[in-house]
Structure 1
Amino acid sequence: MSVPSPQPRPGKGPRAAGAIFDATLRLLAERGYDGLTIEAVALAAGVNKTTIYRWWPSKAALLHAALLRARVLDIEIPDTGSLRGDLIALADQVIDLVTGVRSRAIVRAVASGPGLPDDGLASLARDFFADRFSREQPVFTRAFARGELPPDTDPMLLLDLIAGAVWVRALLRNEPVPPGFAAAVVDAVLPARRTA
């Protein structure tokens, strides 16, 4: 069973969507998926629960929308003028997400997934990372146009290698991410991918 993803069209939705999404992710981090309820989100966001149900018929649908649209998990797509610079800037943002005061607990809650059915967790993760990957495409479009990557390069593999190093260090090993880590990872991944 896949997680439903009814989302308001851009420009549509409750006026309090930002507060609802922030409350959803904060409560997820504090209570886990099992402890997350529509009623608690409504109370924390200062809205009626009917407002939430009007747009998101279940807590799975609400969490799905919050993960894709909440500001706390947002990324800025860099344009530094070089692939290396853009990838370092993206890696630094991943580091901020997995180590940040507000976002770290959310990332851990989603990654651990207790209470979520396996297919629900898989769907949430797939949609979240597909959304991020689609946002990051301009980095690679510019790099291909500048001749910084051979045409057969797999951008998703590059991002998986870079983000994976951050996730392993910060979340799986639970070790501090030292200054310069983003640049070190990008430099370890890019040499083999660069054109001559």
Structure 2
Amino acid sequence: MTRNPAPAGGGPRRKAEIFTATLGLLAARGYDALTIEGVAQSSGVNKTTIYRWWPSKSELLRDALLHAPAMQFEDADTGSLRGDLEAIAGQVQALLSDERRRAVVESALVGAVRHQAMRELVVSFLDDRFGRHQPVFERAVQRGELPPDFDPAPLVDAMAGALWMRVLVRREPVAASFTDDLIGLLTDGAGRAAQRPAQPGR
């Protein structure tokens, strides 16, 4: 899918209003019923203007997921891998604990199961967020907490998956002890990987 950049005109406030309306309608109606016409009515922006900036709802929804303030995470740099992972986990927990933002995530995941276009959007969003967290693991390699060839993708998937399962499926709160145990398991495993001798050919 071709990336359509956020519009240069219109101002940040107008774009934020459109993104907020887009995600709100996704949460309330789901991917199938989301339309640019509905976004125009909800945001108060003329639909021809929205179509000029985003020719399809997929392109609009992609930018909304990537750039809406509600879906942003702060950079984590605490001085240790465990501290950084705890900071990231806390942001994921805050996202999923907020009723409106959780509804967006749930609607996006349901849509991803049913529609290829929505699945590509979700993968694009996750890849973008993973890329933003790469400095966390680069710093951990420099500190000797991770081996140079460590692949952080399974660690990130395991952390996010456990939190999503806890909140979205089990509908249980994420206690501090749960997060501590989860991060402990992940960092202990990563630490053992750092101590393993390098394998030939890797």
The answer for unaligned runs of 5 or more in structure 2 is 196-202
1:142 maps to which residue? Answer: 139
Summarize deviations over 1:103-131 as a string: whole Å, max 9, x none: 110001001117x8532122112101110
**2:10 is equivalent to residue 14 of structure 1:** yes
Contact map agreement 1:72 1:102 (CA 8 A) in 2? no
Point out which structure has higher relative CO (alpha carbons under 8 A, 6+ apart). 1
Summarize deviations over 1:32-86 as a string: whole Å, max 9, x none: 1122121221122121111111111111111111111111111011111111000
Distance in 2, matches of 1:75 and 1:161, equals 18
**2:61 is equivalent to residue 63 of structure 1:** yes
**2:91 is equivalent to residue 93 of structure 1:** yes
Contact map agreement 2:81 2:187 (CA 8 A) in 1? no
**2:34 is equivalent to residue 36 of structure 1:** yes
Q: Which has the larger radius of gyration?
A: 2
Distance in 2, matches of 1:187 and 1:55, equals 45
**Quick one: which amino acid aligns to residue 14 of structure 1?**
G
Change beyond 3 A, Cα 1:7–1:13: farther
Distance in 2, matches of 1:68 and 1:176, equals 26
Summarize deviations over 1:126-185 as a string: whole Å, max 9, x none: 101110011101111111111111122111111111111101111122222223322221
Distance in 2, matches of 1:76 and 1:180, equals 23
Q: 1:79 aligns with which of 77, 98, 102?
A: 77
TM-score, normalised to structure 1's length?
Answer: 0.91
Q: Say which SS state the counterpart of residue 109 (structure 1) adopts.
A: helix
Distance in 1, matches of 2:174 and 2:114, equals 31
Once the 2 structures are TM-superposed, how far is the Cα of residue 13 of structure 1 from its aligned partner?
A: 4.1
Change beyond 3 A, Cα 1:183–1:14: farther
Distance in 2, matches of 1:128 and 1:8, equals 15
